[in-house]
A and B are shown apart, each in its own frame.
Chain A
Amino acid sequence: MKLKIILQIAWGLLKARKRQTIVAAVGVTFGITTFITLLGFMNGLNDLLDGLMMNRTPHIRLYNEITPSSTQPIDEASNHNDDYNFVHSIKPKNDRMEIRNNKPIISFLSNAPEVKGVTTRITSQVFFNIGASSIGGLINGIEVAQEKELFFFEDYMIEGNSMDLQNVPNSIVLGEILAEKLMLRIGDLVQVTAPNGERFQLKLVGLFQTGIADIDKSQSYASILTTQKILNRPNDYVTDILVKLHDVKRAPALAKYYGKLFSVETIDMNTANAQFDTGSSIRSLISYAVGITLLVIAGFGIYNILNMLIYEKMDSIAILKATGFSGQDVSRIFNTIALVIGIAGGGLGLLFGNLLCHLIHSIPFNTDALPTIKTYPIDFSTKYYVIAALFSVITTYFAGYFPSRKASKVDPVAIIRGK
């Protein structure tokens, strides 16, 4: 009942100052629209740029490095415990690149709660033959399904289907520039020479493009089974275990822990790509700062208009107070006015922001880096809409707070006597 009358009076006062009300609301609308668009666009681009590197990068990589043993037999000799020894020119022994006993490691990681996904890889040097000459390159043996899920492999395929790697026996996917150099098209046979000198014929089922020329002109993907066959290794041969975590921030600590636990070398993404994190967080910060500034400016607009309204409506405030409305009621009326402006302006702002985002999202944008992206990227996550809505209500509330307090303190006697 009481709320209704306050709404009624607030609405009446708003209607009496239509133009100013609209100007104030448009200020909020503009602020929110810009906020939504800016953040959506910025974060869309951020995700795109991060995706370029982050999507392809495992959070933790487990591998084996050929290093000389850190302990020498003489260290074990008990009768020389008190002596110093110097061994010169230590060389690593001819060790294998594989991760030994990898099955239990993989099953441990797959079941660990902090791990989102695990996949294995084999990486090896190969030669691609064209006529009499050969081009050096790299073959990555991958688990196609996991690779697709964890590292968005499909996004980089510009021709063919990545699942063919698994479905077609002895198949391969080449980097786009590499395929061009080899003058091969899908369906052709690729001649591959393994490090041990054995030659293989693989069927080209697809092309990929990462936008990084070095990769595109030298790398290729095959299924892990095919790769094991080329390298003439048993089917438990794996050189890399790649882990994606639920929480990237835990990568450095977990990398160390896994390294100790499994006695393998590990590297985490943060160490490998520290600059990416900084770049994207600063970009977000800038867009938030600009968006919030716009809203604060809109807030000042509301503040001004309410102040004006209060000066104009002194008589009405006095009469409301004289007829039994308390200061609290009066301040509620003006707060309501502010909130109505904020909610109406903010709601429209959300709508226009969304429309503008859709508009930008439809502008063509072609980049070599991500062949699947055809238009400007926009992040449509509801998070920004919630923040914008909250912020518009909060700003307008505060913009209305001081004028409302002033209105509630109007002394009716002073106004009525002053006439």
Chain B
Amino acid sequence: MKKTLIEAQHIGKYFYSPKKVQVLNDISFKIDEGEFVSVIGKSGCGKSTLLYILSTMDTEYEGDLKIDGVATKKKTPHELAHIRNEKIGFVFQFHYLLTEFSVIKNVMFPGIKLGKYSEEEVEHQAYERLKLLGIENEALKNSNQLSGGQKQRVAIARALINKPKIIMADEPTGNLDEGNSELVFDIFKEICAELNQTILVVTHDNDFANRTDRIIELSDGEILSDGPPLIGIG
């Protein structure tokens, strides 16, 4: 039996300003190891909100969340930061690299922070990740000298540095042209297949979603459907 990595139980979320609005209502699902899951839905349906709750960054919600079997509700912010560092890798829509530092440093920081390996080892691992994504030649460049597609690949390399249990991506292709989107998708597909990496992607790109293993569709804060993509519908 496959191991359950994420277990969301009856998650609800309200926004309070300007007035109380329910954004998520009784969301429950599980994600198992090695799954490539996408969350789709219209703008404002709460898919990003759900992702931030799953990522442990947003802690104001109802219900329970288990990551890798550990309940996160009662953890301190410090412990949650450690969980994010060790078990979750992030990829955002707008690359979000530290522009003051070189590519290799950007990839290394979460690894050094984790402190499991020496700096030399982390550097070696960072080079391996960059090589995997085909951008090892850019390692010493400053991160704002790269193109959008390259930046996103660096962000993926950074997400992979600590061998996280799960990679969470928020519209990873939203800011990229078709070619680069394709590239990013291929990378995700590849690491999912080869490294058995669990991936959770929030996207409004239905083509992208249709090529993942499983689609969770949200509508008005509730799960509309959850299952493998229906071939032919896009």
Contacts and interface: CB of A to CB of B under 8 A. Distances in A.
Nearest to A5: B112
Contacts of A329: 81, 113
A326 B81 contact: yes
Interface in B45-84: 48, 52, 55, 57-58, 77-78, 81-82, 84
A324 B113 contact: yes
B100 A16 contact: yes
Contacts of A325: 81, 85, 113
B85 A324 contact: yes
Nearest to B118: A1
B115 A326 contact: no
Contacts of A416: 52, 92, 96, 170
Interface string B148-168: 000000000010001000000
A281 interface: no
A323 B113 contact: yes
Contact of A321 (B57, B86, B99, B105): B57
Contact of A324 (B52, B86, B97, B100): B86
B100 A316 contact: yes
B110 interface: yes
Interface stretch (A7-15, A153-161, A387-395): A7-15
Given A12-B100, A16-B100, A324 B110 contact: yes
B109 interface: yes
A318 B112 CA distance: 18
Interface string A173-203: 0000000000000000000000000000000
Contacts, number: 82
B142 to A, nearest CB: 10
A319 B85 contact: no
A50 interface: no
Contacts of A324: 81-82, 84-86, 88, 110, 113-114, 162
A12 B104 CA distance: 14
Contacts of B98: 9, 12, 316, 319-320
A309 to B, nearest CB: 11
B57 A413 contact: yes
A327 B77 contact: yes
Contact of B58 (A16, A320, A323, A413): A413
A322 interface: yes
A166 to B, nearest CB: 72
Interface in B82-135: 82, 84-86, 88, 90, 92-94, 96-101, 105, 109-110, 112-115, 119
Given A315-B96, A323-B110, A325-B113, A417 B82 contact: no
B78 A328 contact: yes
A319 B154 CA distance: 13
> Interface residues of A: mostly helix, strand, loop or mixed?
helix
Contacts of B58: 413
A323 B90 contact: yes
A320 B99 CA distance: 12
A13 B109 CA distance: 14
A419 interface: yes
A12 B90 contact: no
Contacts of A4: 112, 119
A39 B181 CA distance: 66
A6 to B, nearest CB: 9
B85 A1 contact: no
B36 to A, nearest CB: 21
Q: Of residues A315, A322, A328, A419, which shows the largest number of chain B Cβ atoms within 10 Å of its Cβ?
A: A322
A412 interface: yes
Contacts of B85: 323-325
A322 B113 contact: no
Contacts of A318: 96
A322 B100 contact: no
7 contacts: A1-B115, A4-B119, A323-B85, A323-B90, A326-B77, A413-B58, A419-B93
Interface of A: 1-2, 4-5, 8-9, 12-13, 15-16, 315-316, 318-329, 412-413, 416-417, 419
Interface of B: 48, 52, 55, 57-58, 77-78, 81-82, 84-86, 88, 90, 92-94, 96-101, 105, 109-110, 112-115, 119, 158, 162, 170
